[in-house]
């Protein structure tokens, strides 16, 4: 097998193992539902319905405290949790009389939370990459410097 083919194969294995492990990230559903919250807020900017208010409240409470029916565990990441609690407090104070400025503020704060989830997810992926590199390295009886150099590119 040529050197290029070896590197190509290792890159494919490395990349696929990272993407396969990304499915194990516990907050993927949370990330999906916080984006759903943003969609609900945008929908409410044209018409506020009881159904939307209830759905928004349920998802928000589930993101904070967990909700088995939504497959949410409740986040333990303090930066995310604090933001969600702030949103809930503002939401609870305004949900009876929602106006466009309130909805815009809520949407802005939700987008901040989306960014925090993305940051957490990227940290998770970095840890998975590092774990894969270490595992590959530990499984080799004699480290191959060319392979290690290839991993450094990631």
> What is residue 124's predicted lDDT score, i.e. its pLDDT?
84
The residue with tokens 């070896």 is: 6
Structure tokens at 25: 């990230």
Averaged pLDDT, groups of 10, the chain, 154 residues long: 50 46 68 94 93 96 95 91 97 92 96 94 84 72 63 62
> What is residue 127's predicted lDDT score, i.e. its pLDDT?
83
Query: Which are the contacts of 59, defined by CB distance < 8 A and separation ≥ 6?
Result: 33, 34, 36, 37, 40, 67, 70, 72
CB distance 63 to 74 below 8 Å? yes
Q: Radius of gyration (Cα) for the chain, nearest Å? A: 21
> What is residue 109's predicted lDDT score, i.e. its pLDDT?
97
> What is residue 3's predicted lDDT score, i.e. its pLDDT?
56
């Amino acid at each position: 097998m040529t050197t290029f083919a070896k590197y190509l194969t290792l890159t494919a294995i490395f990349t696929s193992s990272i993407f396969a492990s990304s499915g194990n990230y516990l907050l993927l559903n949370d990330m999906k539902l916080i984006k759903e919250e943003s969609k609900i807020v945008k929908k409410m900017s044209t018409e506020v319905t009881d159904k939307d208010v209830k759905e928004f409240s349920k998802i928000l409470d589930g993101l904070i405290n967990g909700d088995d029916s939504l497959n949410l565990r409740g986040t333990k990441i303090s930066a995310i949790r604090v933001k969600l609690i702030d949103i809930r407090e503002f939401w609870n104070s305004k949900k009876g009389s929602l106006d466009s400025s309130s909805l815009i503020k809520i949407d802005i704060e939700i987008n901040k939370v989306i960014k925090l989830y993305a940051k957490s997810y990227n940290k998770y992926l970095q840890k998975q990459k590092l774990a894969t590199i270490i595992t590959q390295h530990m499984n080799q009886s004699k480290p191959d410097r060319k392979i290690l150099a290839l991993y450094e590119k990631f």
